[in-house]
Chain A
Amino acid sequence: MATLGAPARAHAAPQALSDSAAWRTIASTLGVATFIGVWVAVTSLGLVPPTFLPSPTAVLARIVDLTHEPYSGSLLQAHLLASLRKFGLSYLLAVVIGVPLGLLMGRFRFVDWLVSPVFEGLRFIPPIAWVPFSILWFGTGFLAPTLVIFAGAFSPCVLNAYRGAKLIDRQLIEAAQTLGARGWTMLGQVMLPAALPHIVAGLRVSAGFGWQSLIGAELIVGSTGLGYMIVQGESNLAPAVVIAGMATIGVVGALIDYTMRALEDWIRRDWGR
């Protein structure tokens, strides 16, 4: 996926005043202000009842409340932590299995032939569609959301590692072979570094998918986490809690993306030479 922002600005043609940084900052501020302004206006003018959309201040107040008054059994930070723990474990699992698999598929035609038919079919199944089987297999225990998150995070890991491995210069591999690199040495010390920029791009996409899948799993089953908090808010007709949960999901999702992007840029810079 392409990105909005810095790289695209690189070849900005020096144009009129409207393109200057100052104007852009003003426009950005105006954009956010419009968003919040419209939100405030429709709620405070009574255009929509608070049961449909609570005002931004109500949501903020709710977020503050949630951090020191337990909601459906836990504080907001505890729900967040529960979600992050499930996410962390499953994501790690997807990376640890997915990346080597992708590299192997890129390196050995036989592995590629063996795995591709299954992988190609499975990757079109939405992560949420794994919820029924995850329930049948793992109940609502810790492993149930793991399968769903894994399903979301796995395929970008594999695909990007595969593509990275495919693009490695054959001469590099042959040179390594003549120097005696085999098996794990080849995989870990030659292919992994060479394909790293691609892999890291995959890791970022994969983290995003994993996070979104987690929320889906928690919305449908589960008794902890942000998704669960949202369902409870829905059940108790407390839209402020729902939006507070959504905002937390959004902020954390953005933070994950930002971190991965920083990692990606850093690796690109170091490897790009």
Chain B
Amino acid sequence: MAGSPRSPGRGAPRARVQRSAVAAGLVVALLAAWYLTTGPLELVNSLQFPSPDDAYEALRQLTSPGYAGATLARHIADSLALVGLGFVAATLTGIPLGILMGSSRLAEAYINPVFQLIRPIAPIAWIPLTILWFGLGTAAKVFVVWLAAFSPAAINAFTGVRNVDPVLIAAARVHGASARQVLSQVVIPASLPTIFTGLRVSLQACWMVLVAAELVGSFAGLGHIMIIATRDLNSGMIFVAMACVALLGVALSVALAWVERWAVPWRR
């Protein structure tokens, strides 16, 4: 699921120039089309899609004095904090569980059926129960994010551990490594690439459930802007919030790829 379409043969500098030219041309064309259809040609009602002016106006209002109870910086900070907390919670619980299930077949047999029972339920469908159980505070929202991010983390840790070459483990045992040493010095390092794939999927899942989590009584956040702006039929505001979500999503993905290169240098 992860990874981006990118031409693998990025060697030729000429191709790179061409590629940038196509991208730039596209962006210009899109902007022109946006301006024309919402502005002079009046093909699109500003209620249905904002004109560049509307979007700029919304952005200005968001930066100061703010909208839906906070300024843009606070909305972004709240969303990032929420995703961060959910991601950390999912990582801290999902990876150990995955490793446990990966290293013990009995544990796998015990946990997996229940895990498989609960996993297909969409995280957002938990919202009513979440409000009942956790109220409206941070815990409730983190729970929803955790629900989405937990299973990719656990599943990939499990697969990573299970697919470690048995010869490697046997070799370590022969050389007198304890079970603990085998786990920490052989199994975990060897499964790290798969675990990282899981983390990337997991982070993306966090991001994908962001708006849903902010349905649970939030004071600020990008999803919160969208919820309020929908009630206000403010298409400019919706557009700005979506653009922020998209840009931050790309940024997060790039950042994680960077961390991955740093933490698993032998991967590429």
Contact = CB atoms under 8 A, between A and B. Distances in A.
Contact of B121 (A124, A159, A250): A250
Contacts of A208: 120
B109 A25 contact: yes
A41 interface: no
Contacts of A19: 105-106
B125 A215 contact: yes
Interface string A97-116: 00000000110011011101
Interface string A36-69: 0000000000000001110000000000000000
Contacts, number: 218
Contacts of B18: 113
Nearest to A134: B230
Binding site secondary structure of chain B: helix
Given A32-B114, A126-B208, A234 B128 contact: yes
Contact of A28 (B113, B208, B233, B241): B113
Contacts of A120: 4-5, 250
Contacts of A145: none
Interface residues of B, number: 83
Contacts of A156: 1
Contact of A126 (B5, B115, B166, B211): B211
Contact of B122 (A116, A234, A242, A253): A253
Given A4-B101, A30-B110, A109-B7, 14 more contacts: A4-B108, A4-B158, A24-B106, A27-B107, A32-B114, A110-B22, A112-B7, A116-B23, A128-B124, A131-B211, A251-B120, A253-B121, A254-B117, A257-B120
Interface of A: 1-5, 8, 11-13, 18-19, 23-25, 27-28, 30-32, 34-35, 51-53, 105-106, 109-110, 112-114, 116-122, 124-129, 131-133, 135-137, 156, 158-159, 162-163, 166, 205, 208, 211-212, 215-216, 219-220, 227, 230-231, 233-234, 239, 242-243, 245-247, 249-254, 257
